[in-house]
């Protein structure tokens, strides 16, 4: 069950495959202390049968942090949830929204929206295996050409009735399982925010979080008038400093915002420690997540070029981030040209 000492899920960063790994999450936590962070989707079988540390390792600072699992076998998901609880994740989220063909072949992701009873079995098995964790679900508003509101209302209603799940993260688009790529599925199906708002009105006892196409703080503030929380995806990756004023604006924090200089210093020390740990982590593994950090600043192009230059990355020197910052520091406060 949810820990009452954790901040509410007013803001969260979406699980994004190949993007929200532990290095990205460490950086995000330096920008916002209260925003919920999510892992990329991890197949339950990989956690159970693979190198669990590779998939579940995280930094202590990441809390509040959720693990997103993919799967449709209740026993396998339960075993993965039990392992996740041992790594002190605050939440375990079941993916019922991914539309990729690979996920469909495994009979999980968005196609699970057509099998609410199976999803209920999965959530119940996960909750029983990890009673100290919040077990939640992320889903779409429908599959393929299902356009009626009742589709998502029936799905949520069934799970609310048959499970202890009380947090529903709703990507306000359909998932088209045939004819669109995963990338197109993030943009082509129309957004229907009003469906998510209606869910909150009809299920006031549930925590309803909206996701999809949200790119700025004004949009976030408007959504928070209608639902309990907002999950932001790609904007948080390409422009991470969008999160810089979230603690003050949306959580009432009085602590000062993190400056670019403070962030670079923390990331330098983090990179040095990760390389020294000897687990094979390289500067390239970490720096790829930092390319958008200087978004909007003058000379940001130089920062991006240096942190993605193969020749500069090859020596595996964490000092590279300090050298890139030195090219920008004199211009902080000036807009990108």
Domain locations in the chain? 11-251, 260-333
Q: Which fold has domain 11-251?
A: TIM Barrel (3.20.20)
Mark the binding-site residues, compressed into ranges: 15-17, 68, 138, 171, 211-213, 233-234
Of 247, 215, 261, nearest in space to 234 by CA: 215
- Of 54-58, 186-190, 193-197, 312-316, least confident by mean pLDDT is 186-190
Q: Classify residue 260 as exposed, middle or buried by CB count within 10 Å of its CB (0-12, 13-18, 19+).
A: middle
Q: Do domains 11-251 and 260-333 have the same CATH topology?
A: no
- For the cut 90, the answer to whether the pLDDT of residue 334 exceeds it is no
pLDDT band at residue 106 using 50, 70 and 90 as cut-offs: low
pLDDT, mean of residues 303-324: 98
pLDDT per residue as tens digits for the range 160-170: 999 999 999 99
Rounded percentage of the chain residues whose pLDDT exceeds 90: 83
Would you please indicate which residues are annotated as catalytic (active-site) residues? 98
Give the pLDDT score at 337.
46
Contacts of 163 (CB under 8 A, 6+ apart): 120, 123, 124, 127, 135
Q: Classify residue 137 as exposed, middle or buried by CB count within 10 Å of its CB (0-12, 13-18, 19+).
A: buried
Give the pLDDT score at 183.
79
Q: Architecture of domain 260-333 in CATH?
A: Up-down Bundle (1.20)
pLDDT, mean of residues 176-198: 86
Residue 293: C-alpha distances to residues 189, 230, 324 (Å): 30, 21, 12
Cβ atoms of 6 and 167 closer than 8 Å: no
Beta pairing, strands 142-143 & 91-96? unpaired
pLDDT per residue as tens digits for the range 26-76: 999 999 999 999 999 999 999 999 999 999 999 999 999 999 999 999 999
Mark the binding-site residues for FMN, compressed into ranges: 15-17, 68, 138, 171, 211-213, 233-234
Write a three-state SS string for 240-268.
HHHHCCHHHHHHCCCCCCCCHHHHHHHHH
Of 202, 248, 201, 260, nearest in space to 221 by CA: 248
pTM: 0.95
């Amino acid at each position: 069950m949810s820990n009452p000492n954790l901040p509410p899920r007013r803001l969260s960063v979406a699980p994004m495959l190949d993007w929200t790994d532990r290095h990205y999450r460490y950086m995000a936590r330096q920008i916002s202390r209260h925003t919920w962070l999510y892992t990329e989707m991890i197949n339950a079988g990989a956690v159970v049968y693979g190198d669990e540390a590779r998939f579940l390792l995280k930094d202590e600072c990441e809390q509040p942090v959720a693990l997103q699992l993919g799967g449709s076998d209740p026993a396998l998901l339960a075993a993965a949830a039990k392992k996740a609880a041992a790594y002190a994740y605050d939440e375990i989220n079941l993916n019922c929204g991914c539309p990729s063909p690979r996920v469909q072949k495994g009979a999980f992701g968005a196609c699970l929206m057509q099998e609410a009873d199976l999803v209920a079995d999965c959530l119940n098995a996960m909750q029983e295996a990890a009673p100290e964790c919040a077990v939640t679900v992320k889903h779409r508003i429908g599959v393929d050409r299902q356009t009626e509101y009742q589709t998502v209302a029936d799905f949520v209603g069934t799970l609310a009735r048959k499970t202890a799940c009380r947090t529903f993260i709703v990507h306000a688009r359909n998932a088209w399982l045939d004819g669109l790529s995963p990338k197109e599925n993030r943009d082509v199906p129309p957004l229907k925010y009003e469906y998510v708002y209606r869910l909150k009105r009809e299920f006031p006892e549930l925590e309803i979080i909206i996701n999809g196409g949200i790119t700025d703080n004004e949009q976030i503030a408007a959504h928070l008038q209608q639902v309990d929380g907002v999950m932001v995806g790609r904007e948080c990756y390409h422009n991470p400093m969008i999160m810089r004023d979230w603690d003050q604006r949306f959580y009432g924090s009085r602590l000062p915002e993190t400056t670019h200089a403070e962030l670079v210093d923390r990331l330098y020390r983090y990179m040095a420690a990760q390389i020294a740990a000897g687990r094979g982590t390289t500067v390239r593994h970490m720096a790829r997540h930092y390319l958008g950090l200087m978004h909007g600043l003058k000379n940001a192009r130089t920062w991006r070029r240096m942190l993605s230059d193969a020749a500069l990355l090859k020596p595996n020197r964490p000092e590279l981030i300090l050298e890139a910052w030195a090219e920008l520091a004199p211009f902080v406060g000036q807009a990108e040209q």
